[in-house]
A and B are shown apart, each in its own frame.
Chain A
Amino acid sequence: MAGELVKLLSELKEQEALNFVEKALAEGVDPMELLGDARDGMNIVGQKFATEEYFIPDLVFSGEVLKGIVKILEPHLKKDEKTERLGKVVIGTAAGDIHDIGKDLVVFMLDVNGFEVHDLGIDVPAQKFVDTIKETGSKVVGLSGFLTLAFQSMKDTVDAITEAGLRDDLKIMIGGGQIDEQVRSYTGADAYGKDAMEAVKLAKGWIGGR
């Protein structure tokens, strides 16, 4: 029975996955084990997305299935089990830009992989990043942007973080359709990622080795 949920979720079999969780709980399977399986299933979805076997709608759909699974599991989880997290990441779409698809995917994959994600939304002013880093003590920041004008905002945000004296033990990653090494170097970020899986890899490398 172990691994069955991994397979069902990674193959996007919504109803079967939900039914399986109900049944497994009734049979006394540890809900934490099921949650772990769900997470592994989501990772496979993420990998299949990275290799272009799956597409964005698949990813979003898998998130919905996961939500359904968590909803069933939630009443059975102890409080500390629910809140156990790898580390904190602050993320948002840079000022002037309103694109959210890529950012939402990154938020989603980080969340699924166990990070506590503070999603500031779109068109986020530099100061808002600075304030949230201070409040949360996050060590990783993700800046997203699709428009070319977001590159300037990303640079401004990195500069603002530096000026606030927060840059030293903080890692900043950027991402977006047109981001490349040239943009990374322009903005002063530490790294850029091509997709949501790379964002997870970067964050894990920095704060969440597991």
Chain B
Amino acid sequence: MPPGQTSDVPRGGNGECTQAEAQRGEIVLVIVGERINTSRKRVNEAVEKREAAYIQEDVKSQLEAGADLIDINAGSRLNSEVDDLAWLIDIVQSTVPEVRLCIDSPNPGSIRSVLHVVERPPMLNSTTAEKDRFEAMSEIIQSTDCDIVALCIDDKGIPKNAEQALDTAARLVSDLESLGVKRERIYIDPVIQAVSTNTNAALIALEAIEGIRRKLPGANVICGLSNVSFGLPKRHLVNRAFLALAMRAGLSAAIVDPLDKKLMGTLRATTLLLGQDRWCQDYIRAFRKGWLEA
């Protein structure tokens, strides 16, 4: 069963989705840990020098802090992306065999080349509604058991308003379903724009999230948090405020740095305020572990 759905399987690290929650049909935010990305200097160095221990420790701490999936991205390593991805996947799986991975590359070919080393059904990040990209990803999606991130981008580009995003989302869901992908395995990314160039960008995104959840019931909505604050000072503050709003709008998964205590604190506090943390147990447990930072 994919994460994000009702389940009585314990969730990694940050507490369990309780039986009661499962019965009420609650959905808990799925955390995709974003740290293993070679555009980060230290990770790039570790990949370059094949420092398995550094990567393994980082992944363990992400899972400990509440990550449900670990994103693996080596896209910045132009000439060695496939080899590097394969190495990363291998060392992460060897240290945490139960880990679920999110294979992250803009190149469908790279994703295809590393799939055979992935042990558990991965999340694939990502397809779009662009004709070429969708076709290239279709083959891969049909060949494997996976969750799929689908960006609301088509050949006309990024949606300019919530309606356009919703249109693209509906097309993506129907096209993916016709490939045999179950709706609950689809994670729509409405592609959040920066408020620094459009004051209404966050409002548009929130409207898109609400619309997708309402009009495409069962489909998940995922997003990264850092785009929204691009070009602003103290970006993390804006990211955190957006996370809370997006969760209320119906966000089902977020690609974040689970070691960012302030962000994770906001996430837990918001979960609690949305009535999804029974007797505040997850929040209090996180406090005891020293994971909460105001």
A contact set with B: CB distance below 8 Å: 52, 55-57, 60, 96, 98, 101, 104, 122-123, 147-149, 151-152, 178, 186
Chain A residue with minimal CB distance to B38?
A: A148
Kindly specify which of B63-71, B217-225, B228-236, B279-287 makes contact with the partner chain. Answer: B228-236
In the assembled complex, B157 has its CB within 8 A of some CB on chain A = yes
A55 to B231, CA, bound (A): 6
Residue from the list B39, B78, B196 in contact with A56, Cβ < 8 A: B196
Q: Do A57 and B232 touch (CB < 8 A)? A: yes
In the A-B complex, the 3 residue pairs with the smallest Cβ-Cβ separation, listed nearest first, are A56-B231, A56-B196, A148-B75
Complex A-B: 10 CB contacts under 8 Å: A57-B231, A60-B196, A60-B197, A96-B106, A148-B39, A149-B106, A149-B107, A151-B78, A152-B78, A178-B76
Main secondary structure, interface of B, reads loop
Residue from the list A55, A122, A152 in contact with B196, Cβ < 8 A: A55
Q: What per-residue 1/0 map shows which CB atoms of B7-35 lie under 8 Å from chain A?
A: 00000000000000000000000000000
Query: Contacts of B230 on A, CB cut-off 8 Å?
Result: 56, 101
Given A98-B158, A152-B78, A55:B194 Cβ within 8 A: no
Residue from the list B106, B157, B158, B232 in contact with A147, Cβ < 8 A: B106
Q: Do B75 and A147 touch (CB < 8 A)? A: yes
Q: What per-residue 1/0 map shows which CB atoms of B121-163 lie under 8 Å from chain A?
A: 0000000000000000000000000000000010001100000
Chain B residue with minimal CB distance to A155?
A: B78
Query: Contacts of A147 on B, CB cut-off 8 Å?
Result: 75, 106
Given A98-B158, A149-B106, A149-B107, A57:B75 Cβ within 8 A: no
Residue among A52, A60, A104, A122 with the highest chain B CB neighbour number at 10 A: A60
Q: Do A148 and B76 touch (CB < 8 A)? A: yes
A52 to B153, CA, bound (A): 32
A55 to B106, CA, bound (A): 29
A147 to B77, CA, bound (A): 12
- The number of residue pairs between A and B whose CB atoms lie closer than 8 Å in the complex comes to 47
B159 to chain A, nearest CB (A): 11
Chain A residue with minimal CB distance to B158?
A: A98
Residue among B157, B194, B197, B232 with the highest chain A CB neighbour number at 10 A: B197
A38 to chain B, nearest CB (A): 21
Given A148-B76, A178-B76, A186-B78, A56:B197 Cβ within 8 A: yes
Given A56-B232, A148-B76, A101:B157 Cβ within 8 A: no
Query: Contacts of B195 on A, CB cut-off 8 Å?
Result: 57
Query: Contacts of A151 on B, CB cut-off 8 Å?
Result: 78
Given contacts A123-B157, A149-B106, 5 further A-B contacts (CB under 8 A): A52-B233, A56-B230, A60-B197, A148-B78, A149-B107
Chain A residue with minimal CB distance to B153?
A: A98
Q: Do B231 and A101 touch (CB < 8 A)? A: yes
Query: Contacts of A55 on B, CB cut-off 8 Å?
Result: 196, 231-233
Q: Do A57 and B196 touch (CB < 8 A)? A: yes
Chain A residue with minimal CB distance to B155?
A: A123
Chain B residue with minimal CB distance to A177?
A: B39
Query: Contacts of B197 on A, CB cut-off 8 Å?
Result: 56-57, 60, 101, 104
B289 to chain A, nearest CB (A): 34
A44 to chain B, nearest CB (A): 19
Q: What per-residue 1/0 map shows which CB atoms of B194-210 lie under 8 Å from chain A?
A: 11110100000000000
Q: Do B194 and A101 touch (CB < 8 A)? A: yes
Chain A residue with minimal CB distance to B193?
A: A101
A122 to B231, CA, bound (A): 19
A55 to B39, CA, bound (A): 23
A147 to B153, CA, bound (A): 15
A98 to B153, CA, bound (A): 9
Q: Do A149 and B194 touch (CB < 8 A)? A: no
Query: Contacts of B76 on A, CB cut-off 8 Å?
Result: 148, 178
Given A98-B158, A147-B106, A56:B194 Cβ within 8 A: yes
Query: Contacts of B153 on A, CB cut-off 8 Å?
Result: 98
Query: Contacts of A104 on B, CB cut-off 8 Å?
Result: 197
Q: What per-residue 1/0 map shows which CB atoms of B161-202 lie under 8 Å from chain A?
A: 000000000000000000000000000000000111101000
